[in-house]
């Protein structure tokens, strides 16, 4: 189910043809991704767009590194920001070590970040990978809190409250590029995004990467196949630390400052949220999660003060109703497409999702109105919502919001059975499995 390059086909096909398919790793998606990365800044040329894309790329690397643990190794970490943070802080110190930095081309800096992340992961992993599950999660939390708290005390390395800042342009010019411009940094980060993603993908196809899955699913069986579950976890852990460190280094290059915020539990929580939202069961899940999360964060945080509240609701409902995340939702539709029946789903989807969307918008309007009603300064009764300005203390807007939400909800509920039926029809060939 969580295989990417081995397509689950119907068993009647001869195995020989399949074998040829799984021998080679298709290059097409990688070339397309590289082209998209090259072309993107030509379409979105303004600086804020490039800032968002840089942020997105860094989050992708970090989320993929995190999923090496959570999705592929079955280890839940509540303190993974520590490894990217250490990588970032180390890179800031290298930037500030003027003589050394002057002979180091900036594009090589992330390697050092990776090595520092890996080094810390080796130390912590030596005792934390003894078991997966709850104990591992607790140790990750304890170590994470410990290092985040130490960062305030150990000023020489972490810079205390202000953090550590530096200047990336003091590095050895790389083919004449000094990385003064945002766009140059974008291409540097994109290059590392491609490299890290490819390496992490390849890692999942190596013997140790395959055994990471095996240990996740059934550690005992893996032990009876000659592998020590602990060592398998340890290797996943240090490689995850390495790529987290690279993400930290890219952060250092992009923002030129690191603070305690890069290490603390909140950052660790965000990366868990991003990864889970995208879907832990598929390699591309975290990529999707990072893109969607960064976009939603950027857009929503400009529109509303309550964005963290919405993120929390989204997160909890993802865990409750779509544990496969976005990637899981997408992959659910693969069988329907294979049977050529996907088009039968379009109309029922529109019928259900459109009113569903209105319900959600209506609910969020009500939430915003309640918030405004409770917290706006006295006298400021006017609020603007969905391009409409109205008085949040008047009855009429409330009636409209409630009626629209309730009506949309009613329509959604009424159309759900139709969608379920269409879904079963579209997946009828799969032998009852959905």
Partner 1 sequence: MELVLVNLIDGLVTGLLLFMLSAGLTLIFSMMGVLNFAHASFYMLGAYFAYQISLYMGFWVGLLVAPIIVGIAGAGVERYGLRRVHQYGHVPELIFTFGLALLIEELVQFIWGKNQMPFDIPEVLNFTAFAIAGNSIPAYKIFMIFISVAIFIGLLFVLTKTRVGMIIQAALSYPRTVEALGHNVPLIFMGVFGVGTALAGVAGAIAGPVLGTFPGMAFVLGSIVFVTIVIGGLGSLWGALVASLLIGWITTFAKSYNIRMEDILNGIGISTPEYLDDNIFRDLWTITSPQIADILPYILMVLILIFRPYGLLGKRDA
Partner 2 sequence: MNSSANSTPALAIENLHKSFGKAKIIRGVNLKIGKGERHAVIGPNGAGKSTLFNLITGRFPPTSGKVRLHGRDLAGLAPFQINRMGLSRSFQITNIFPKMSVFENVRCSLLWSKGYRYSFWNMVSRSQDLTDAADSILEQINLTARRDLPAGVLSYAEQRALEIGITIAGGANVIMLDEPTAGMSHSETDYIVELIRTVTEDKTLVMVEHDMGVVFGLADYISVLVYGEIIATGRPEEVRANPKVQEAYLGAALEAEH
Q: Enumerate binding residues for partner 2 (CB under 8 A).
A: 1-3, 5-9, 11-12, 15, 18-19, 22-25, 202-203, 205-211, 213-214, 217-218, 220-229, 231-232, 235, 239, 433
**Least distance CB 81 / partner 1 (angstroms):** 14
Binding mask 71-90 for partner 1 (x = CB under 8 A): ---x-x-x------------
Residue tagged 């990588």 (tokens)? 87
Count, residues near partner 1 per rule CB under 8 A: 47
Name which position in 4, 131, 301, 430 contacts partner 1 (CB under 8 A): 131
Nearest residue to 19 via CA among 31, 27, 34, 9: 9
In the complex, least distance from residue 138 CB atom to partner 1, rounded to whole angstroms? 5
Interaction residues for partner 1, span 295-334 (CB under 8 A) = 306, 308-309, 311-313, 315-316, 319-320, 323
Of 142-150, 251-259, 412-420, 422-430: span binding partner 1 (CB under 8 A): 142-150
Separation of alpha carbons 351 and 427, rounded Å = 19
Helix, strand or coil, per DSSP, at residue 379 = coil
Three-state DSSP at 163 gives coil
DSSP assignment of 42-74: HHS-SHHHHHHHHHHHHHHHHHHHHHHHHHHH-
Q: Taking CB under 8 A as the rule, does residue 146 contact partner 1? A: yes
Q: How far is the CB of 270 from partner 1 (least distance, A)?
A: 10
CB atoms within 10 A of CB 89: 25
Cβ 47 to partner 2 shortest distance, Å: 39
Select from 271, 279, 248 the least CA-distant residue to 63. Answer: 271
Rule CB under 8 A: is residue 134 a binding residue for partner 1?
yes
Minimum CB distance to partner 2 smaller for 13 or for 374: 13
367 binds, among partner 2, partner 1, none (CB under 5 to 8 A by kind): partner 1
Q: Is 66 exposed, middle or buried (0-12, 13-18, 19+ CB in 10 A)?
A: buried
What is the contact mask toward partner 1 in residues 392 to 421, using x (rule: CB under 8 A)? ------------------------------
Q: Which residue number, 128 or 415, has a Cβ lying nearer to partner 2?
A: 128
Contact residues for 285 (Cβ-Cβ < 8 A; gap 6+): 67, 71, 275, 278, 279, 325, 326, 327, 328
Q: Decide which of partner 2, partner 1, none touches 232; Cβ closer than 5 to 8 Å per partner kind.
A: partner 2
Spatial neighbors of 127 by CB under 8 A, at least 6 apart, are 139
Report the partner that residue 43 touches, choosing among partner 2, partner 1, none (CB closer than 5 to 8 A by kind): none
369-388 residues in contact with partner 1 (CB under 8 A) are 370-371, 374-375
- Contacts of residue 344, defined as CB under 8 A and 6 or more positions apart, other chains included, come to 422, 425, 426
Rule CB under 8 A: say whether 154 interacts with partner 1.
yes
Residue 299, number of CB atoms within 10 A of its CB: 12
Q: How far apart are CA 69 and CA 99, in angstroms?
A: 37
The helix/strand count (H/E) of the chain reads as 19, 4
* Shortest separation between residue 225's beta carbon and partner 2, angstroms: 5
From the list partner 1, partner 2, none, partner contacted by residue 350 (C-beta under 5 to 8 A by kind): none
Query: Which of the listed partners (partner 2, partner 1, none) does 391 bind, with a CB threshold of 5 to 8 Å by partner kind?
Result: none
Minimum distance from CB of 375 to partner 1 (Å)? 6
Q: How far is CA 379 from CA 64, 279, 306, in A?
A: 48, 45, 21
Residue 381 phi/psi, 5-degree rounding, is -90, -15
| Shortest distance, position 139 Cβ to partner 1, whole Å | 5
For Cα atoms 149, 152, 158, give the angle at the middle one, nearest 5 degrees.
110
Rounded-to-integer distance, Cα 30 and Cα 33, Å? 5
Q: Give CA–CA dist 151/144, Å, rounded.
A: 11
Q: Which of 269, 338, 358, 393 binds partner 1 (CB under 8 A)?
A: 269
Question: Which one, 232 or 272, has the nearer CB to partner 1?
Answer: 272
- Minimum distance from residue 130 beta carbon to partner 1 (Å): 7
Q: Which does 173 bind (CB under 5 to 8 A by kind): partner 1, partner 2, none?
A: none
Q: Using CB under 8 A as the criterion, which residues of the chain lie in contact with partner 1 when the complex forms? A: 70, 74, 76, 78, 127-128, 130-131, 133-135, 137-139, 141-143, 145-146, 149-150, 153-157, 265, 269, 272-273, 276, 306, 308-309, 311-313, 315-316, 319-320, 323, 367, 370-371, 374-375
């Amino acid at each position: 189910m969580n295989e990417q390059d081995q397509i689950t086909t119907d068993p009647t096909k001869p195995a020989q043809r399949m074998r040829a398919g799984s021998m080679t790793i298709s290059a097409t998606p990688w070339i397309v991704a590289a082209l998209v990365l090259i072309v993107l800044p030509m379409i979105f040329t303004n600086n804020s767009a490039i800032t968002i894309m840089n942020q997105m790329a860094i989050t992708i690397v970090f989320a993929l590194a995190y999923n090496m643990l959570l999705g592929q190794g079955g280890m839940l970490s509540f303190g993974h920001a520590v490894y990217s943070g250490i990588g970032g802080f180390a890179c800031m110190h290298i930037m500030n070590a003027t003589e050394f930095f002057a002979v180091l081309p900036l594009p090589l800096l992330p390697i050092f970040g990776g090595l520092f992340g890996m080094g810390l992961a080796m130390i912590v992993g030596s005792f934390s990978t003894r078991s997966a599950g709850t104990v591992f999660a607790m140790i990750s939390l304890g170590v994470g809190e410990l290092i985040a708290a130490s960062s305030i005390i150990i000023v020489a390395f972490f810079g205390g409250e202000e953090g550590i800042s530096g200047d990336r342009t003091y590095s050895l010019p790389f083919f004449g590029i000094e990385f003064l411009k945002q766009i140059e940094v974008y291409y540097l980060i994109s290059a590392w995004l491609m490299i890290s993603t490819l390496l992490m993908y390849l890692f999942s196809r190596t013997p140790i990467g395959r055994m990471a899955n095996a240990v996740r699913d059934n550690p005992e069986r893996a032990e009876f196949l000659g592998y020590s579950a602990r060592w398998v976890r340890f290797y996943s852990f240090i490689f995850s630390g390495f790529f987290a460190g690279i993400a930290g280094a890219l952060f250092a290059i992009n923002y030129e400052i690191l603070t305690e915020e890069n290490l603390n539990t909140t950052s660790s929580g965000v990366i868990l949220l991003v990864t889970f939202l995208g879907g832990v069961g598929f390699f591309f899940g975290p990529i999707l999660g990072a893109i969607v999360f960064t976009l939603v964060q950027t857009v929503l945080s400009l529109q509303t003060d309550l964005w963290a509240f919405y993120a929390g609701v989204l997160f909890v409902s993802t865990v409750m109703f779509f544990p496969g995340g976005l990637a899981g939702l997408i992959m659910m539709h693969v069988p329907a497409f294979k049977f050529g029946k996907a088009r039968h789903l379009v109309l029922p989807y529109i019928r259900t999702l459109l009113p569903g969307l209105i319900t959600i918008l209506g609910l969020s309007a009500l939430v915003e109105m309640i918030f405004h009603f409770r917290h706006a300064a006295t006298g400021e009764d006017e609020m603007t919502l969905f391009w409409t300005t109205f008085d949040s203390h008047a009855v009429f807007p409330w009636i409209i919001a409630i009626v629209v939400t309730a009506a949309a909800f009613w329509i959604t509920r009424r159309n759900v059975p139709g969608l379920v039926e269409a879904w079963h029809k579209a997946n009828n060939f799969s032998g009852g499995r959905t």
